[in-house]
């Protein structure tokens, strides 16, 4: 039996499946990953810009970076992995997608199917939040980061807006991480796709499934801290392996 056949058998026999995705699932859509090559922007590391301290120190610089990323991501479309996952979630009640990604590509692939809508742990590039009153809004417009005065401002209170994204050291939305923990704790399978599995609490979700006797299946081009405890590791690009793993049991 090949590893792919073993993984397909585990998924076929599962009642509840939770999928945890990271930047690697969007790599073949052209979205840069965080770590590894391409993780730098104008000499800055993502880890130094994605913090509340960086935003207080220099909101213009942080917005310039996010403006660039929004432009890059808005040119990208879901790849075959996003499509296969959304198709599976559309036809199965107990197949839920939890993502660390802020690119919104799982939502695009889900189209208007609430069942296939992902749980976005770290927020969304195309949603803003007021730093003064907390009001949120969706926005896909161009960010003008030429000066502090041109940065996005709240229509209700004129406060400075920020990306509605969970930065390092910030707590995830309690309802969102709570739902993810409940899903992982009840899952027979946690399918982990394209994450380096180093950022917590997301990286701990697969362990919740494993500890209840469920299986972890990992899809990644390289080893991660989860590889050793996974029941099956599938090595290769997500856009190839995920559709192979899920069809024909979850037809598109
Ligand atoms: C492919 C592929 C292909 C490539 N096919 N695969 C416990 C232990 C240690 C530390 C902590 C801990 N608990 C909390 C912490 C601190 C911190 C943390 O985890 N730090 C670690 C780095 C050490 N966590 C936090 O700060 C979190 N907050 C928190 O815990 O708050 C507690 C609190 C409670 C109460 C009050 C206050 C606080 C928040 C974490 C938020 C993370 N946000 C980011 C930045 C968002 C900014 C933005 O996007 O603009 O989210 S970090 C960044 O990493 C981003 C990602 O979602 C996240 C995960 O990255 P991901 O997706 O894994 O990407 P990569 O690039 O790392 O990996 C890509 C993978 O794909 C690789 O494996 C490739 O091989 C693979 N790949 N091509 C398949 N084609
Ligand atoms: Zn406001």
| Confidence (pTM) | 0.95
* Cα-to-centroid distance, 139 and ligand 2 (Å): 15
Identify whether residues 97 and 212 lie together within a single domain. Answer: yes
First to last CA, the chain: 25
Half-sphere exposure of 77 (CA within 13 A, CB side): 3
29 close to 79: Cβ distance less than 8 angstroms: yes
Give 188 Cα–ligand 1 centroid separation in angstroms: 24
| 112 and 15 fall within a common domain | yes
- Nearest ligand to the CA of 153 is 2
Cα–Cα distance, 134 to 204 (Å, whole number): 28
Instruction: Could you list the beta-strand ranges (E) of the chain.
Output: 17-21, 40-41, 44-45, 95-99, 119-120, 123-130, 136-138, 161-165, 189-193, 215-220, 232-235
User: If you search the block for the tokens 């056949």, which residue do you land on?
Assistant: 5
Residue in 16, 82, 106, 122 annotated catalytic: 122
Residue 187 has, within 13 A of its CA and on its CB side, a CA count of: 31
Q: What is the CA 36 to chain-centroid distance, rounded?
A: 17
Strand pairing class (44-45; 40-41): antiparallel
> Ligand 1 center to residue 205 CA distance, Å?
12
Does a structural domain hold residue 226? Answer: yes
In a domain, 39, yes or no: no
Shared domain for 181 and 229, answered yes or no, is yes
CA dihedral (67, 239, 245, 211) positive or negative: negative
Q: Which domain holds residue 203?
A: 3-31+78-122+171-246
User: How large is the angle between the packed helices 238-246 and 3-13, nearest 10 degrees?
Assistant: 50
Q: Which residues contact 198 (CB under 8 A, 6 or more apart)?
A: 35, 224, 225
Whether residues 132 and 236 share a domain: the answer is no
Compute, in angstroms, the gap from residue 117 CA to the centroid of ligand 2.
Answer: 27
In-domain check, residue 37? no
SS3 106: helix
Q: Answer yes or no: do 12 and 63 share one domain.
A: no
Tens-place pLDDT, residues 18-40? 999 999 999 999 998 888 766 66
Same-domain pairing of 199 and 223: yes
Shortest-distance ligand to the CA of residue 165: 1
Q: Quick one: which atom of ligand 1 is closest to the CA of 204?
A: 7
Does 238 lie in the same domain as 136? no
pLDDT value of position 39: 66
Is 122 an active-site residue? yes
99 lies in the same domain as 201: yes
Ligand 1 lining (C-beta closer than 6 Å): 22-24, 27-28, 33-35, 50, 100, 102, 122, 165-171, 194-196, 198-201, 219-222, 224, 237-238
The pLDDT score that the predictor gives to residue 77 is: 98
CATH number, residue 184: 3.40.50.1220
How far CA 218 is from CA of 7, 71, 193, 233, in Å, comes to 9, 30, 6, 5
Ligand nearest to the CA of 157: 2
Backbone angles phi, psi at 6, to 5 degrees: -65, -45
Based on the domain organization, do 176 and 231 belong to the same domain?
Answer: yes
DSSP state for residue 170 in the 8-state scheme: P
The pLDDT assigned to 112 comes to 81
Number of domains in the chain: 2
Residues of the chain with pLDDT below 70 are 37-40, 249-252
**Which pLDDT score, from 0 to 100, does residue 93 have?**
87
60: exposed, middle or buried (C-beta count within 10 Å: 0-12, 13-18, 19+)? middle
């Amino acid at each position: 039996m090949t590893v792919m056949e073993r993984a397909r058998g585990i998924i076929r026999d599962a009642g509840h499946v939770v999928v945890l995705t990271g930047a690697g699932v969007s790599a073949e859509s052209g979205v840069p990953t965080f770590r590894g090559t391409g993780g730098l922007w104008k000499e800055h590391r993502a880890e130094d810009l994605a913090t509340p301290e960086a935003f207080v120190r220099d909101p213009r610089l942080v917005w310039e970076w996010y403006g660039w990323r929004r432009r890059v991501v808005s040119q990208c479309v879901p790849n075959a992995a996003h499509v296969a996952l959304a198709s599976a979630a559309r036809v199965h009640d107990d197949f839920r997608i939890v993502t660390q990604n802020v690119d919104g590509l799982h939502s695009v692939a889900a189209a208007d199917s609430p069942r296939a809508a992902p749980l976005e742990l770290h927020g969304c590039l195309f949603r803003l939040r007021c730093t003064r009153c907390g009001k949120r809004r969706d926005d896909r417009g161009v960010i003008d980061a030429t000066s502090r005065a041109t940065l996005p401002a709240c229509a209700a209170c004129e406060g400075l807006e920020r990306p509605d994204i969970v930065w390092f050291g910030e707590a995830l939305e309690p309802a969102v991480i709570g739902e993810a923990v409940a899903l992982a704790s009840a899952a027979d399978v946690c399918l982990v796709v394209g994450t380096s599995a180093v950022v917590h609490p997301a990286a701990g979700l697969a362990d919740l499934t494993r500890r209840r006797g469920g299986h972890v299946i990992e899809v990644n081009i390289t080893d991660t801290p989860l590889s050793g405890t996974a029941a099956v590791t599938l090595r290769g690009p997500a856009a190839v392996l995920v559709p192979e793993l899920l069809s024909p049991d979850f037809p598109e």
